Amino acid sequence: MTRTIKSMEKKYLLPSLDMVEDVFAKWDSPEEGKTVRRLVEEIRSKKYYIPELELIMTDETDVVIGYAMFSGFHY
């Protein structure tokens, strides 16, 4: 299996949200999935968002199979 890690691109914004929600829903609950999805959407909309540090992994068919987000957000 070929895997590629790259910075976020527009075409992956929705598929990555769907994947994150699905993973957290299966891990904990559907409510947790929705909460994490909203958190990612909120970070993307704020000044702390650094697009180059929102990373995805795709397989050989260009499907999102991994996700990580780093931001400039601090407490």
pLDDT tens digits for 12-66? 999 999 999 999 999 999 999 999 999 999 999 998 899 899 999 999 999 999 9
* Domain residue ranges in the chain: 4-71
Q: What is the pLDDT of residue 3?
A: 96
Q: What is the pLDDT of residue 40?
A: 95
CA 48 to each of CA 16, 59, 63, 66, 69: distance values in angstroms, whole numbers, following the listed order = 19, 29, 27, 22, 11
